[in-house]
């Protein structure tokens, strides 16, 4: 009865979310070398494409949104295994699940930390890389807005996949197979928003769909992830 009341207490939910967020951010700071590798991966993937193409500004501008979104997707995927794996191997995840704190709030904090350390730097770096593609100011503004809405969805959907593959052999490959199909709509709407601006149609409908997806993921992903974590621990 006490656990059920705690799970419905807004203060307990907020405290659990803040605790998990602060803990995972502290761990990320201690292992900042891994974060550097992930960001370097994003920069290299996005920066190498212009070197392989003809120096045609129109072509580069057209390809920019798709390339940057794919690079952001891969960078997010690269960081997913560390979301739960270390805690699962050490037994910390089992202790967290058995604590009186709401598990959905705890995994929400871990998702937020994943986005702050992986998605947010991508949002910040994307405008600089977009300049190499001769992107215009309107393109960059919509690209940043789309990434700001879409990268949290990548983190939340990825957390579901990371929880489902806990303890599985070949977990990295299985995780990619589970998560990549879920990422496709985000990729389509995110890149499509910039493409619509380039075509003179406006990117608002695509951004609205990303915002709706973000709200749906914010509600459903913590519940699905916490259920997957409990299944993995059984």
Q: What are the average pLDDT values for consecutive 10-residue runs of the chain, which has 234 residues? A: 50 84 86 78 83 77 88 87 82 84 89 91 90 86 94 93 79 79 92 89 91 94 91 82
pLDDT in the model for residue 172: 67
Listed residue (150, 159, 153, 143) closest to 222, CA to CA: 159
pLDDT in the model for residue 5: 40
Task: Give the whole-angstrom CA distance, residue 35 versus residue 43.
Answer: 12
Listed residue (207, 205, 201, 189) closest to 142, CA to CA: 207
pLDDT in the model for residue 169: 67
Evaluate whether 51 touches 145 at the Cβ level (below 8 Å). Answer: no
pLDDT in the model for residue 3: 44
Domain residue spans in the chain?
2-233
This prediction's pTM: 0.88
């Amino acid at each position: 009865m006490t656990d059920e009341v705690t799970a419905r207490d807004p203060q307990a939910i907020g405290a659990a979310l803040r605790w998990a967020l602060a803990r995972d951010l502290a761990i990320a700071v201690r292992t900042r070398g891994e974060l550097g590798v992930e960001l370097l991966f994003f920069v290299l993937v996005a920066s190498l494409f212009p070197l392989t193409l003809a120096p045609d500004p129109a072509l580069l501008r057209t390809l920019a949104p798709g390339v940057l979104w794919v690079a952001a997707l891969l960078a997010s995927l690269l960081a997913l295994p560390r979301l739960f794996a270390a805690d699962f191997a050490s037994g910390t995840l089992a202790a967290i699940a058995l604590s009186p704190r709401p598990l959905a709030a705890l995994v929400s904090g871990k998702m937020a930390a994943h986005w702050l350390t992986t998605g947010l730097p991508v949002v910040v770096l994307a405008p600089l890389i977009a300049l190499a593609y001769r992107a215009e100011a309107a393109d960059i503004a919509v690209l940043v807005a789309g990434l700001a809405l879409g990268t949290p969805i990548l983190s939340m959907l990825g957390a579901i996949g990371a929880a489902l593959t806990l303890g599985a052999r070949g977990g990295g490959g299985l995780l990619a197979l589970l998560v990549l199909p879920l990422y496709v709509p985000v990729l389509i709407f995110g890149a499509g928003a910039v493409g619509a601006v380039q075509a003179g149609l406006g990117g608002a409908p695509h951004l609205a769909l990303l915002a709706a997806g973000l709200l749906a993921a914010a509600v459903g992903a913590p519940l699905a992830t916490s259920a997957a974590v409990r299944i993995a621990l059984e």
